[in-house]
Structure formats: C-alpha cells, structure tokens
Structure 1
Amino acid sequence: MSRVTLAQWQMLAAVVEHGGFSRAAEAVHKSPSTLNHAVHKLEEQLGVAVLEPVGRQVRLTEAGELLLRRARQLLENADALEDVASRLAEGLEAEIVLAIDQIFPPDALARSLDAFSEAFPHVRVQLHETVLHGGVEMLEDGQVDLLVSGLSARGFLGEPLVTVRFIAVAHPEHALHRLDRELDLRDLEQHRQLVVRDSAQRQSLDSGWLKAEQRWTVSHLDTSIGMLERNLGFAWVPETRIRPALEAGRLKPLPLTAGGVREIPLQIIHRDQDRAGPATRAMAEQLRTSVAACAGTRNFENIE
C-alpha cells in the first residue's frame, strides 16, 4: 500500500498552484501549518525534497515536478472514479447497447456518439450495425437497449426518427447506362443486383431483390458501394452514403421509368422506455438531435 495519501498530493498541488502555504491555505480552507505538515510528511515518506524556497514563496524541485506530474494523473483518476460511482448510485448504466440499421445516416450517427461521449465519458457503448430483421431480432431477445430500424418490432412501440432516401445506381460505364434510354424491370432482371444480407439469424428477408438472374449478397452496405464503384452490379443505396460518389461521377442514378427512388422511414425503439436509464435516454435524445442538426447539411438533402 502507498504510504502517501491522495490528500497529501492534493495539498502539495494547492501549495504549488497558489505559490505558497498561506495562499493555498485560504483556497483549500485549511491552516498553513496543516499544509506545511502534510508536505513535509510527504517528503519524509518519499525521501525526496519536493519543494524549495524562493524568497517568500516556494517552488517545485526537479524531482518534485516529476512526482507532482504523475500525482496529478492519480488525482484526476480519483475524481473520475468518484464521479462514476456517484452516477452509478443515481442509476447510471455502466454500458448501453445499440442496434443501428446500416442505412442510418453515418454523419448523424457519428455526431450522436461524439456528443454522448462528451456527456457520459465513462459509459461504454456497444454498437451493432444491423440489416433488416437483425436489429429487431436482437431487441426481441433483450440484447439491446435501443434500436433504430425501418421495420416494426412486435410488442414494441417506435418513434419516427428519419426517412432515408434510396437511389438505384450503377457505375457510369455499366451496361444499363449504355442502353441510353429509360429502363424498366425487364432491363434490370438481365443484370447483376447487389443486395445486403439480412443480419437476422432466425428470420432473414430478401428485401429489394428483383429476382434478377444474377445476385451477389454481401454483409455490409459499404461493401456493396465499393462493388458498385468497381462496376460489378447495380443496387439501391442510401443517398447519404453515395453523395460524394454521385458528385464525383463515380456512380450514376439509373433512369428508371418507375421505382428509381425509394424512401424508408426509420424509427427509434426502446427495449423498455419506462425503465431506461439516464444514459439510454440521453443516447436516444442525441440521435434525434443529430438527425435534426444534420437535416440542413448537404449530406442530408432530400432525406426528410
């Protein structure tokens, strides 16, 4: 066990910060003799001089600077520990688990997590990037605190969050674009469609598949977008995910007579809103706030 207490380090830090024992005593509401005794006791226990006189004031010795620098880390950690304990006593969760459908706008998700970490730096976050029924299945199994999904969950009530706009796209040199005319379902069925696999284990869904002769199924939306940019097929993808590729000409909307644009409303669902802790409630609010904050940016044009 350490012979030096945190209180001794705190008193040393106060003496250094205020330039002497008298001023430090006023700041921390202790007598100068108490501070003097604590610091001298610290030096005696460590066998190292940490302060030296400079006129009527004192300053750290070279060894004192090194030791106090390390001690400040201990003091900060101790404060953080007490803060965590206080929040836990108030019912703060140690960890929250999220299932967010991959079509949720990534800028809004990043903004939400960043703001949440500022407010709750000690709460761990587990994020599951799900597809279709995958998140619903986790909610029904009691594995997540919050779900963002375009599908309803039986026995749960959701709240509208954002509507995501999907666009049918392909590489500018794709065979469908080379037809140089409006396209219909028969045209699409002759070419490879890229589909993102439902992440559910029990109830998977081939959402959006047009029964094309060729189908490649991948596990992540980013994989599908990468294949689109390599001219390996066509797909419907969220506009927020491909806006830079559209603007740079790496992808191009397909000129469909109908169905070229789809809109998917996403909702946020609590596992148990009445019993949700402060961190879970705060994360839900951050998701709502971030969607609203991003609504006016270029990446959110035409979403809601």
Structure 2
Amino acid sequence: MKLSFEVLEALDAIDRTGTFAEAAETLHRVPSSLSYLVQKLESDLETPLFDRSGRRAKFTHAGRVVVEEGRRLLQGAEELERKVQRVKQGWEAELRICIDEILPFDAIWPHVRAFYEASIDTRLHLSREVLGGTWDALITRRADLVVGAAGDPPNVPNLAFRSIGSMRHVFVTSPDHPLAQLPEPLTMETVARYRGAVIRDTSRELLPRTVGAAATQDCISLPTLASKLAAHIEGLAVGTLPECLATEPIARGELVARQLIGMRDVTHFYLAWREDETGQAMRWWLDRLDLPDLVDRFIGYRYA
C-alpha cells in the first residue's frame, strides 16, 4: 500500500499550519523528514501533490484530494482506536436492541438520545419482531436485548429476564359485522365461523405463536399492528387489539368491543437478554429499561 497514516498526518499538518517547517514542529519532527515522506509518496503515486513553481509550495488538485480524503481515514482510525479501548474496558462494539411490534417504537427515542449524549461509541442496531419472534431473535442472536418479549420465557441456558408490565386486550369487530349484532358473551365456537386477523409471528427457529384466534378459524396474516387495526375497522376480520389502541376507534364508532368467553385478555411482557454476554452498554440500557411499569411508560409516550 502506497499510503500510510504517517504521511497522511504529515499532509494534514502541512495544510493546517501552512508550511513544512511549522508542520514539522507540530509533529515534533525535522522538516527534511516530512519532505522525504511527501516526495516518496509523489514518486509512488506518480503524481505531484504540491505545486512548487512559486515561492511557497501549494497543494495541487490531486494533493488536495489526498489531504481531504486522508483526514477521513485518520478520523476513522482514531475512532477505531477509541472503540478498541472501550471494548477493552468492557464496552461492546455494537448492541442490537429489538422492540416488540406491540409497543410504540417512538418511545425508544428518548433513551437513544440519552445514549448518544453520553458519548458512548457502541453502535446501535434497532429492530422489530412480532410475538415469539422477540424470544427467537434473542436465542438466535439476532438481538442482544429485547424489549417487550411476550408470553412465557423459553427454557434456555443463560437467559435473563425481568417483568416490565402487562397489557389488556379487547375483542373487537366493525359495527356492521355480524358478530356485532349477536348477544353477549360470544363463544370461541361462534367467533371461529368468521375470518380473524393475526399479526404474523417472526420466529425463525421457535414454534410460531398465534394470539387471539381460534384453532379452526380462517385468518388473514398481517405484518403490523397498524394493519391489523385497519383490517378490523374495514370489517374484513375480527380479533383482539390492545385496549389502549382500540379505545379511540371504539369512541369514534369505528369499532365495537364484544365480550368473549375463553379469551385471554392480559398479556405479560419482559425485558430479556443473555446474562453471560452483558457488557457496559448493555448495563447502561438495563439501568434505564429494567422497570416494572415500562410497558405503561411506553404506552403513555404514545398518547403524551
């Protein structure tokens, strides 16, 4: 490789100070050593980096390109050195955080902002998973930390988890749907005669879960909670929704809530991670998110 960080630092210093002599003083070197570095690079690249026709050498266009692009390389090298030191001190190079689809994604931004304001170099990767996909993401190492993992935790080694609250669900239909006219309480057998709407579980290795649908019910599989809500409002399907999400459509007359025998109306959620891989960045996030009422805080953020 013809370029080196040594010569890039020399060119940067020459550009900042204006002369070889001042650059050499800044770098604690003799001017002749800088001249040698520059002339060798010009020879290797077969391109002049300085115009020496005047009393004072000036960068050529090619020299200017080398200086500006070289600064980016120098900055990248400095950042890499800092990251290596932080890894040595127990800070992860990256942290993958997965938020369950049922929680409002916007509620994570204040925490992300605080993380960056703390000048932590760990790179964040944020993602979404659905139902058992949160547990699956942790087990298959697509995520290091999951926020809002639903249902019973799987029995796997080194899995740590904390309860962060629960969420109530209601069974809804459009006002014009046949189920809206039947006397309550409805039974699962009656509901199974009509099309349901479920969010597609994103599990890859764990057995996918289905919530709020009868075993024999014909269902439309949807990618997001928003699309599930829309399907209910359109009268295309029936099913359960988080009570906090259904309240306003019910008040507007777009949906009606129906009592359903045998429906599990509360879901419990967890913060989960692998306790054998807990670095400083993970501990930072756990300190902020390990709260028994985190679900309520996230939901409250949506309506703040």
TM-score normalized by the length of structure 2:
0.68
| Other-structure match for 1:194 | 197
1:276 counterpart residue number: 278
Say whether 1:11 aligns with 2:10: yes
Q: CA deviation at 1:12?
A: 0.4
Q: Which residue of 2 aligns with 1:264?
A: 267
**Which residues in structure 2 correspond to 1:1-304 (within 5 Å)?**
1-2=1-2, 4-52=3-51, 59-93=58-92, 96=95, 100-109=99-108, 123=123, 125=125, 127=127, 129-132=129-132, 134-136=133-135, 145-148=144-147, 149-153=149-153, 154=155, 156-164=159-167, 166-171=169-174, 173-176=176-179, 179=181, 184-186=185-187, 189=191, 191-196=194-199, 205-209=209-213, 211=214, 214-216=217-219, 218=221, 220-222=223-225, 223-238=227-242, 246=249, 252-256=254-258, 262-272=265-275, 275-285=277-287, 297=301, 299-300=302-303
Could you give the per-residue CA deviations for residues 252-275 of structure 1, whole angstroms, max 9, x where no partner exists?
Answer: 342436899955342212221x64
Aligned residue pairs: how many?
292
Whether contact under 8 Å (1:182, 1:255) holds in the other structure is no
Residues 52 and 229 from structure 1, CA distance in 2 versus in 1: closer, same or farther, beyond 3 angstroms? Answer: farther
CA pair 253-230 structure 1, distance change in 2 beyond 3 A: closer
Structure 1 unmatched runs, 5+? none
State the 1:216 CA deviation.
0.4
- Aligned letter for 1:71? G
SS for the counterpart of 1:131 is coil
Q: Which runs of 5+ in 2 are unaligned?
A: none
Superposed displacement of residue 62, structure 1? 1.6
Preserved CA contact (<8 Å) 1:50 1:61: yes
Change beyond 3 A, Cα 1:226–1:54: farther
Q: Identify if the C-alpha distance between structure 1 residues 199 and 69 changes in structure 2 by more than 3 Å, giving closer, same or farther.
A: closer
Structure 2 counterpart of 1:19, one-letter code:
G
Q: Kindly indicate whether the alpha-carbon contact (under 8 Å) linking 1:16 and 1:59 is maintained by their aligned counterparts in 2.
A: no
Residue 13 of structure 1 aligns to which amino acid in structure 2? Answer: D
Contact 1:115 1:286 in 2 (8 A): no
Offset at 1:174? 4.0
Q: In the TM superposition, what whole-angstrom CA distance separates every residue of 1:14-63 from its partner, at most 9, and x where no partner exists?
A: 21123333443454444444434433443343333323469886542222
Quickly say closer, same or farther: Cα 1:241–1:6, change in 2 above 3 A: farther
Displacement, 1:5? 1.8
Q: Partners in 1 of 2:125 and 2:217 — Cα distance?
A: 39
The 1:137–1:33 alpha-carbon spacing in structure 2 relative to 1, beyond 3 Å, is closer
The answer to whether the 8 A contact 1:165-1:264 is kept is: yes
CA deviation profile, 1:195-218 (whole Å, cap 9, x unmatched): 335556565554333x49744052
| Secondary structure of 1:159's aligned partner | strand
